Structure 1
Amino acid sequence: MTLPHPPDGVLDGPRHLYAVRVYYEDTDLSGITYHANYLRWFERARSDLLRRLGIDQRAAIESGEGAYALSEVNLRYLLPARLDDDVAIETRCTELRAASCRMHQVARRGTAILCEAHLRVGFLTLDGRPRRQPEDWRTAFARFIDAPEPTATPEATGHA
């Protein structure tokens, strides 16, 4: 897999690819990525996916329209990322609803899956109540939606 080069990643059919390098600040004393950093990488990839889809989060917040918020996440750690690794974050939208969407994200080093996340993101008013996503945002996601969520196989993780 070739890692994406633009800073906001690339759209490749029903997936968004976002490149991350593991820096010293991302690791613990043993040189292995600290577990919470996967959440940061996944969040950055989702934010840049929205940019690539033409969704202006800041304008929506400033106008009082609303914002996306993570409402559910399940992480599965499979292999460690290490200092200086190049990691690709792959994001897919697997379900689109009126006020939310489900996504699947995978952090890979080459073809090996390091960590995967199954999550739900809701669109909320600025006081925290669920709200229908703007129609043009739903349209953008509808063009990006994928088939049912993939799962890591033992072969892909190196645990066969």
Structure 2
Amino acid sequence: MAPIHNTSSPRQSVWPVRVYYEDTDAGGVVYYANYLRFCERARTECLRALGINQHSLRSELGIVFVVRRVEADYLRSAELDDELQVMSTIYDIGAASLKFEQHVLRGDTCLFKAHVTIACLDVERWRATRIPDFLRTLFESEA
């Protein structure tokens, strides 16, 4: 499955998600933590669509991207077999961080929204490090 880019900007992508039984709780709705899993996958696929392989970043450059902060709003419930879309938009690029706004949609209805700060870390020191220039250029470019 590949993300569908809705704009001419590499900063925004849409990733489809189907709700499986394993995603739901005893009440038959998506378990709250799974919205974060859906968003994690969508961010990974957003980076992959830009040609960024996170395994290579770690093995070749010694950097990883990790979640530093999440602010989430649960607006409506998703249910078994729902077809959802996770819209991910990079809205701020810091020296060592990216900020994403993410929405989980069922059709035109927003079910969940989050602001997620991703930090770039040096894996040897486990400290924040500057985003490499080639990545910054990629994130800032208009494709």
- Give me the whole-angstrom Cα distance separating, in 1, the residues matched to 2:92 and 2:136: 11
Structure 1: gaps of 5 or more residues? 1-6, 145-160
Alignment match, 2:15 = 18
Task: Tell me, in whole angstroms, the C-alpha distance in 1 between the residues paired with 2:47 and 2:137.
Answer: 12
Q: Could you tell me which residue of structure 2 aligns to residue 98 of structure 1? A: 95
Unaligned runs of 5+ in 2: none
- What one-letter code is carried by the residue in structure 1 that aligns with 2:20? Y
Q: CA deviation at 1:135?
A: 1.2
User: How many residues align structurally?
Assistant: 138
The one-letter amino acid paired with 2:3 is G
In structure 2, how many angstroms separate the alpha carbons of the residues matched to 1:121 and 1:113?
Answer: 22
Give the structure 2 partner of residue 31 of structure 1.
28
Q: CA deviation at 1:59?
A: 0.7
1:53 alignment partner, one of 41, 47, 50:
50
Amino acid at match of 1:116: K
3-state SS of paired residue (1:39): helix
State the superposition RMSD in angstroms.
1.1
CA distance in 2, matches of 1:56, 1:29: 36
Report whether the alignment pairs 1:8 with 2:6.
no
For residue 8 of structure 1, report the CA deviation from its aligned partner.
2.9
User: Which residue, out of 134, 137, 160, partners 2:135?
Assistant: 137
Amino acid at match of 1:109: R
Which residue matches 1:119? Answer: 116
Match of 2:128, SS state, is coil
Distance 1:51 1:76 in 2: 26
SS of residue matched to 2:30: coil
Where has structure 1 moved over 4 Å in runs of 4 or more?
none
Deviation sequence 1:3-60 (CA, Å, 0-9, x none):
xxxx131222242000000010000122100000001000000001111011121111
Identity within the alignment, %: 36
